[in-house]
């Protein structure tokens, strides 16, 4: 429904522009000259060209942002894996420490302690 309303508004704008800007003009594109084109074609063409260029700029920026996020996500995953491995290693060392404490049976005494 929103698309239909937007389409009607844009169509009304095009009709309004074409109604009052029907004067023929000559367009020079580099070495090419196009004579007697209605002015509203030039206006609508410039509008569409601007929209296409802005969309392409947005698309390039979006792709570069997606690559940046992809690199950051890989880095975060790598760091999480490292934290997981270190946590496993700490747990193993704690188990080994407890095992060694229970195997020796005697607790070392410090003669200088209170």
pLDDT tens for the chain, residues 1 to 114: 888 999 899 889 888 878 888 889 999 988 999 999 999 889 889 989 999 999 999 999 999 999 889 888 889 999 999 999 999 999 999 999 988 888 876 555 666 655
Interatomic CA distance for residues 74 and 86, integer angstroms: 18
3-state secondary structure of 24: strand
Q: Which residues contact 114 (CB under 8 A, 6 or more apart)?
A: none
* Residue 111 CA: distances (Å) to CA of 43, 65, 114: 96, 64, 8
Does any domain span residue 2? Answer: no
Does any domain span residue 111? Answer: no
Does any domain span residue 112? Answer: no
Does any domain span residue 80? Answer: yes
Does any domain span residue 31? Answer: yes
Does any domain span residue 114? Answer: no
Q: Which domain holds residue 30?
A: 9-100
Interatomic CA distance for residues 22 and 113, integer angstroms: 102
- How many distinct structural domains can be found in the chain? 1
Q: Strand runs (DSSP E) across 2-65, as ranges?
A: 24-29, 32-38
Does any domain span residue 26? Answer: yes
Threshold 0.85, pTM exceeds: no
Does any domain span residue 109? Answer: no
């Amino acid at each position: 429904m929103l698309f239909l309303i937007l389409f009607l508004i844009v169509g009304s704008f095009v009709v309004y522009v074409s109604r009052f800007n029907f004067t023929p003009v000559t367009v020079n594109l580099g070495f090419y000259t196009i004579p007697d084109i209605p002015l509203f074609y030039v206006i609508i063409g410039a509008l569409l060209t601007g929209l296409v260029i802005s969309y392409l700029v947005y698309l390039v920026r979006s792709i570069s942002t997606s690559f940046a996020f992809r690199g950051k996500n890989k880095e975060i995953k790598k760091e999480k894996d490292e934290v997981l491995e270190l946590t496993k290693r700490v747990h193993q060392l704690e188990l080994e420490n407890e095992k060694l404490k229970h195997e020796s049976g005697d607790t070392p005494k410090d003669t200088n302690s209170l």
